[in-house]
Amino acid sequence: MGHRYFIDTPVDSDHITLTGSEAHHLIHVMRAEIGDQLTLFDGSGNQFSAEIQQLKKNAADLLICEQQAIDRELPAQLTVATALPKGDRQKWLVEKLVELGTSCLIPLVTQRSVAKPVPQALARLERSVVESSKQCGRNQLMKINAPLTVTELIEKPSPETLCIVAHPEPPSDGKSLDKPLAKQPESNLLLAIGPEGGWADQEIEQFAAAQWHVLSLGPRILRMETAAIALAARCVFRDHWM
């Protein structure tokens, strides 16, 4: 696949100029030269083969040689709503969700949230989305949604969306993950993961009242980012999505 670079404006002509941090990496880290080939993507779903025509101190003029519509997305939308972990664990969470093909990450504001989804944190998450997309070959960017409360999240999905909430202590009539996935195999998915301190009883009651599937991920207590990745991966690697 070669070195991939993201450009945040649509590639709509044969000649474009790469600037900012991407140009800095190309020129000063990769030590690129005129005539070198590289791959661009603009988040539209397309990727572009390009050749360096001119190098400046902080910009590179590129000739677009070929456009390819390469689809590496899942066949249905996968949205993960989660309270944010602390520190660098946020970056790790984003990286793995992007690799798994997640369409959208919704930061949740819960009763026991610790890390706050402030604008600076969301900006860091968006930068991590770009870096992870460059690495894994996705040509569409995972969206970082505006933060939502549990009440707002429950109002969000369409009736056709399969909604699952992870909880260490599901109700006695809770079902395994296999049953809802088998019942709605082609549905869009919305997964909810709670904070480090767990969901408040009131929040679980809200999910249950809204007919969400309240499921356990096993006998061990998982960190929130582990739970998010485990649940997303289980949904992605079912037979009809592999």
Tens-digit pLDDT profile for residues 128-183: 999 999 999 999 999 999 999 999 999 988 888 999 999 987 655 555 666 666 66
Give the pLDDT confidence score for residue 176 in this predicted structure: 62
- Buried b vs exposed e over 152-166: b needs ≥16 C-beta within 10 Å? ebbeebeeebbbbbb
- Buried b vs exposed e over 14-37: b needs ≥16 C-beta within 10 Å? eebebeeebbbebbeeeebeeebe
Decide if domain 4-69 falls under CATH 3.30.230.70. Answer: no
CA-based nearest residue to 26, from 41, 43, 39? 39
Confidence of residue 217 (pLDDT cuts 50, 70, 90): confident
Contact 139, 45 (CB under 8 A): yes
- Dist. CA 73–CA 241, nearest whole Å: 10
In the block, residue with structure tokens 């019942």: 183
Give the pLDDT confidence score for residue 216 in this predicted structure: 87
Give the pLDDT confidence score for residue 159 in this predicted structure: 82
- Dist. CA 242–CA 230, nearest whole Å: 16
pLDDT reading at 60 higher than 80: yes
The pTM is what?
Answer: 0.90
What mean pLDDT is predicted for residues 94-115?
95
Of 9-18, 28-37, 44-53, 184-193, where does mean pLDDT reach its minimum? 184-193
Domain boundaries, given as residue ranges, for the chain: 4-69, 78-241
pLDDT reading at 240 higher than 60: no
What mean pLDDT is predicted for residues 26-39?
93
Q: Give first-to-last CA distance, the chain, whole Å.
A: 21
pLDDT reading at 198 higher than 60: yes
CA-based nearest residue to 74, from 188, 212, 209, 231? 188
pLDDT reading at 1 higher than 60: no
Mean pLDDT of the chain: 90
Give the pLDDT confidence score for residue 173 in this predicted structure: 52
pLDDT reading at 55 higher than 60: yes
Give the pLDDT confidence score for residue 171 in this predicted structure: 57
Contact 77, 188 (CB under 8 A): yes
Contact 140, 129 (CB under 8 A): no
pLDDT reading at 46 higher than 70: yes
Confidence of residue 205 (pLDDT cuts 50, 70, 90): very high
Give the pLDDT confidence score for residue 37 in this predicted structure: 94
CB count within 10 Å of CB 149 equals: 15
- Dist. CA 102–CA 91, nearest whole Å: 15
Q: Which CATH superfamily is domain 78-241 in?
A: SPOUT methyltransferase, trefoil knot domain (3.40.1280.10)
